[in-house]
Amino acid sequence: MAQPAQSPEPPADHIIVLFGATGDLARRKLLPGLFHLARAGLMPRRYRIVGTAPAAEALTDQEFRAHAQQAVARFGRSRPEGPDWEAFADALSFGAADTGAADPLMTAVREAEATLGGKPRRLFHLAVPPVAFTSMIDLLGATGLAEDGKVIVEKPFGTDLASARALNAAIHAVFDESRVFRIDHFLGKEAVDNVLALRFANGLLEPLWNREHISHVQIDVPEQIDIQGRAGFFEGTGTFRDMVVTHLFQLLGFVAMEPPVALEADALRDEQVKVFHSMRALDPAHVVRGQYTGYRAEPGVDPESDTETFVALRVEIDNWRWAGVPFHLRTGKALAEGRHLVTLGLREPVLRMFPLDARAAADGRSNELVIDFDDPGSITAHFLVKEPGPSMRLADAAMVFNYGTSFAAQNFLEGYEHLLLEAMRGNQSLFTRSDGVERLWEVAAPLLDAPPAVEPYARGSWGPDSIDALVAPYRWHLPVRRRVHTSE
Ligand code: BG6
């Protein structure tokens, strides 16, 4: 995990080679993120960023700088101007590369290395569509560029067990696992590191973090946005592969893990992978696939499409800590709100000293711990207190820790920024390991083999109605309501 306070040293000098430099991810996240790191003083003392793309999309160095400037102006957190920008733009260059024709890239990398002098590290970021992954990896191997370098690989890491194995084999033919950084931007969110801090740095919560005290866990990532014209990508992928196998299962690994023997990459990833091994293979009867009404009319979508834009599922973890505690996962497009929440529902006290009225009983009264993974996030403990006054009325209360109001905003790193920095530092803690990825596809196999039919849901809702039965007798945490319980 990240340890900026203990590691004030900037990363070693680097050449960063950005495959897909003209693409959407580079424009929205990578170029603005790298510029933010530069402004925050977190880039190496000496670095160069070499953009690359197929020759058909080649840019000159000047054009690449202008492209980056527009990207930062549109999506960045600070304006691309002044001496910080000049220095950053100066570090950018471009070299096209196609299979069998990588000379412009080779030249650009050599020039960048000559400019820096010494022996800078090489970091390759493959921000390219899955079809291009293996040919780019092969290119890095064939040209010798890969030598001693690290590679950042973007999701999806395969679409099933066989394709994940094939992809890992292709990567390992060129890069050994210690140099592979499979990026999942959810794991770069501050709140993920904070789950570790919360659990393992405090005596307050860890004793409660098990089946004795927790009745159910909910990992909820509803999105308000729809597919935003990305039919080409979405039709072949669907929400389960896009969001669950990657982001939600990764979060689950951190929430459910045993204490690692040390806060270092393999110890953490060992524990995460153990959770994945304890996960029961998914039962399609415990999965609701949904599709928002109107999806089939989106441009580029098959009018009879069976692709899910929503999924909710119940996951069981067969280990000593979590046996019998259901994990409820939900995510989807075009939902009522956009949130990133993990909710731990605490068991009720053994004795009911405070009788509930009918409404409160229907609502349930378990205490909850809610971890909000938004950037910046928050942690809230919900509990019941007595309202002041002569009668024994109970009311909801909350203890709230808010990152945004508790710490200086300029110290925040967004998911991608955090992970780019960790990759430069060579710290793999927050990156997915090949055995973990393969295990998750194994867990997913029964669902992929026999997916239940998609059920329609209205835009702006919380998904198909059947999700309530999926989690009964528990309830989905959202929407948050203010409740007053009374014993009168
Ligand atoms: C991406 C998915 O990985 O994550 C998108 O491909 C999704 O479909 C996005 O919208 C959500 O990320 P965030 O950080 O905005 O919740």
Q: What is the pLDDT of residues 443-469, one digit of tens each?
A: 999 999 999 999 999 999 999 999 999
Nearest CA residue ID for atom 14, ligand 1: 186
Distance 113 CA to ligand 1 centre (A): 34
Distance 389 CA to ligand 1 centre (A): 47
Q: Is the pTM of this model over 0.85?
A: yes
- The best mutation among 223, 246, 249, 335 to test binding of ligand 1, ranked by most ligand atoms within 8 Å of the C-beta, falls on 223
Alpha helices in 314-392 (DSSP H): 358-363
Point out the ligand 1 atom lying closest to the alpha carbon of residue 155: 3
Average pLDDT value for the chain: 91
CA 292 to chain CA centroid, nearest Å? 23
Q: Which of 80, 55, 52, 48 is nearest to 64 (CA)?
A: 52
Q: What is the pLDDT of residue 362?
A: 53
Nearest CA residue ID for atom 4, ligand 1: 243
Distance 377 CA to ligand 1 centre (A): 16
Distance 243 CA to ligand 1 centre (A): 7
Q: Which residues contact 466 (CB under 8 A, 6 or more apart)?
A: 288, 455
Q: How far apart are the C-alpha atoms of 381 and 473, rounded to whole Å? A: 21
Q: Which of 454, 415, 210, 190 is nearest to 310 (CA)?
A: 454
Q: What is the pLDDT of residue 376?
A: 78
CA dihedral 230, 232, 235, 238 (to 10 degrees): -50
Q: Is the CB of 242 under 6 A from ligand 1?
A: yes
Q: Is the CB of 223 under 6 A from ligand 1?
A: yes
Q: Is the CB of 220 under 6 A from ligand 1?
A: no
Q: Is 45 left (phi over 0), alpha (psi -120 to 50) or beta?
A: alpha
Q: What is the pLDDT of residue 392?
A: 81
Point out the ligand 1 atom lying closest to the alpha carbon of residue 333: 10
Residue 104 phi/psi, 5° resolution?
A: -60, -40
Nearest CA residue ID for atom 7, ligand 1: 243
What is the identity of the amino acid at 103?
A: D
Q: How far apart are the C-alpha atoms of 425 and 284, rounded to whole Å? A: 41
Distance 128 CA to ligand 1 centre (A): 16
Contact yes or no for 439/276 (Cβ under 8 A): yes
Q: What is the pLDDT of residue 2?
A: 43
Point out the ligand 1 atom lying closest to the alpha carbon of residue 186: 14
Segments of the chain with pLDDT less than 50: 1-7, 481-488
In the block, which residue shows the tokens 């060579």? Answer: 426
Q: What is the pLDDT of residue 91?
A: 98
- The best mutation among 186, 339, 374 to test binding of ligand 1, ranked by most ligand atoms within 8 Å of the C-beta, falls on 186
- The best mutation among 30, 153, 242 to test binding of ligand 1, ranked by most ligand atoms within 8 Å of the C-beta, falls on 242
pLDDT tens sequence across 292-305: 999 999 999 999 99
Pairing of strands 378-386, 393-402: antiparallel
Q: Count the residues in the chain.
A: 488
Angle, vertex CA 169, rays to CA 1 and CA 130, nearest 5: 75
Nearest CA residue ID for atom 10, ligand 1: 223
Maximum distance among all alpha carbons in the chain? 82
Distance 12 CA to ligand 1 centre (A): 30
**Which positions are catalytic?**
247
Distance 95 CA to ligand 1 centre (A): 29
Nearest CA residue ID for atom 13, ligand 1: 186
What is the identity of the amino acid at 288?
A: V
- The best mutation among 155, 185, 246 to test binding of ligand 1, ranked by most ligand atoms within 8 Å of the C-beta, falls on 185
Is the sign of the CA dihedral 270, 272, 278, 284 positive or negative?
A: negative
